[in-house]
Chains A and B, each alone.
Chain A
């Protein structure tokens, strides 16, 4: 009996071990150590799993991955960090987390490590260093290695644009050729033109844009309009002074333009759309234009139904100026990790020029100048040129420790105005200034 029980436990243990180190792990070799990397569950994460096999082969350190869908990503990992959990040794955390993670001691400061290993932030695109790595911003204090460059861009149905009948109708209506929009007004015209039009016997719609209420969706969408019309988070000469910058007349126009696009040209039921809803709308052939992060573009280009010759890409068009919302993340070592040495080894390996090159080839967006400034880069993928252009004009949301509160306030004010028709754009932005002032006051900021 005892022997059979022992055998049973041994078999169970073996099975549990086999299941425990399942599909999301790469085998550990000589060293027998395994580290866990936490990120969002999306296409680039799969590319990273593939890429990390080289690290395991080279170092003998096994890799385990904890990927969480975007809708739960912030909740899950901020909970983990705030409860001082040691689940993640490495984390690819959102750019807005950097202030809180740095000030609350959740990330390991990397300055000494970078110096020791000869990793220079001059080798990375400046916008990604500021956005993903530095806290306080624009100071040489580094908490992450820029890992995944990203920004909001647009896709369009190139095949629909190329149709002679569509071209003819558009020219008759707007007096110009149907082409990639250069301004947000042109984009609205195109979206209006396609809204409700029949293509191949199917009713299609203008554009899929971000309107999600629960997490960060509508803020990530509306920012592309606000920035283009002159919105600024604060007075460049007086930190946290927001009057006349957040609620400037330009910002009001930007907010009104976003609402106009939502009302005129989105598919029915698009009142709570974010990344995945946009992908669904575009992939199912519902919309002519789609707002989404560049990270999804390699996957869309490969899509058998709407990819290849049928899809085109462009960066956020201009209004009075031109800018776009920064996405993307840096990779950090979690200060509660028991495997910090191995995690730092991973970062060192990841910063290598060859690894960065392969990262881009597999579908990840490298932030390294060695990749992005290579003369062949703009032609290396159909969206590469637009990505480069976008990364030169990105603006990010607040990265303060209180970013989540600031984000919630904008989500509420903007959704109330754009989707729920509450008040005017001026009232929404004035209200936002009031909310943000109250949050900063609670934080003890002087302005």
Chain B
């Protein structure tokens, strides 16, 4: 930019920039220009992310209720935090969330990596298969929740019929969404069905980033396929796998829409993940202070765990 003469006429794309404008921009230092460019983003971030976060932290120490805006706001200190952390129902919801996050991440990682490994082999029609496999993740969670509700319907649902066909058990003899034992697995199955392709995509990127010459060198050294997998493929794809685990872990920790549509947290509270409890407190009971405290606890939990995990990821990447 400094090489441009004042009289030159610069064109960015199809829009001509007038010499006067150029003169004005030239009058700014690099630092000032940098500030000029990042200020809108900073303002947006402050308005949309930072301010609400600070405000939420403040509200979490008060008895504020959004539906009673005229009522006096009382400072409660850490009362809500104590209440939440000693509430057995909250711990039950956290256990349900942990079960959901753990099993979905395990299943999606194993299946996703397996699918990526197969797709990477570039067999005939692999492009078509890739597209088909990716279809579930392109659907809206609301759509997925609704049609899996039908698939799980004991009388007409395809899922029950497939299980009946494979096991010989009558289709209407079990209900995936209404049974205390089966319903936590029902939501795990749906999430795995929907998001395994996403993990596959990330793993596929990892597998494709491994240079061929490493395998060629291994072939020269007469390393078996098994040895190549354990010594080359898995270690080199590991940072990608860990990244997929991080993304899915964070996403599923805050899972709401699909579980809400499938079970509404039931039967009883069997599938009531933390975000459903939070939504009920915030937008049905309108306990804004309480739910702000709960949201902060969840945020700190995810943020803390993610930070520890990212450090581990960086260690793996630097090996």
A interface vs B, CB < 8 Å? 74-75, 78-79, 81-84, 100, 103-105, 212-214, 267-272, 286, 401-402, 404-405, 408, 412, 415-417, 419-422
Contacts and interface: CB of A to CB of B under 8 A. Distances in A.
Contacts of A104: 67-70
B287 interface: yes
Contacts of B263: 213, 272
B267 A415 contact: yes
A212 B266 CA distance: 9
A312 B217 CA distance: 82
A269 B153 contact: yes
B154 to A, nearest CB: 4
A397 to B, nearest CB: 14
Interface string B157-182: 10000000000000011010111100
Given A213-B264, A415-B268, A416-B269, A75 B284 contact: yes
A209 B317 CA distance: 57
B287 A420 contact: no
A75 B177 contact: no
Interface string B264-279: 1111111000000000
A214 B149 CA distance: 15
Contacts of A401: 68
B155 A268 contact: yes
Contacts of A415: 266-269
Contacts of A103: 68
B285 interface: yes
Interface residues of B, number: 33
B66 interface: yes
B8 to A, nearest CB: 31
Contacts of A271: 175, 177-179, 266-267
B283 interface: yes
Contacts of A417: 268
Task: With a 10 A CB-CB cut-off, give which of A75, A268, A421 has the most chain B CB atoms.
Answer: A268
Contacts of A408: 280, 284-285
The 8 closest A-B pairs by CB, nearest first: A271-B178, A420-B268, A214-B264, A213-B266, A416-B268, A268-B154, A269-B154, A419-B267
Nearest to A273: B178
Contacts of A404: 284-286
Contacts of B154: 268-269
B273 to A, nearest CB: 13
Nearest to B272: A412
Contacts of B268: 213, 412, 415-417, 419-420, 422
B228 interface: no
B107 to A, nearest CB: 24
B260 interface: yes
B37 to A, nearest CB: 33
A269 B283 contact: no
Contacts of A267: 155
B85 to A, nearest CB: 16
Nearest to B170: A268
B178 A419 contact: yes
B203 to A, nearest CB: 36
Given A268-B175, A272-B263, A420 B70 contact: no
A301 to B, nearest CB: 26
A271 B176 CA distance: 10
Given A271-B175, A408-B280, A420 B180 contact: yes
Contacts of A81: 67
Given A268-B154, A420-B267, 12 more contacts: A82-B67, A84-B69, A268-B172, A271-B175, A271-B178, A272-B264, A408-B280, A408-B285, A412-B268, A412-B269, A417-B268, A420-B269
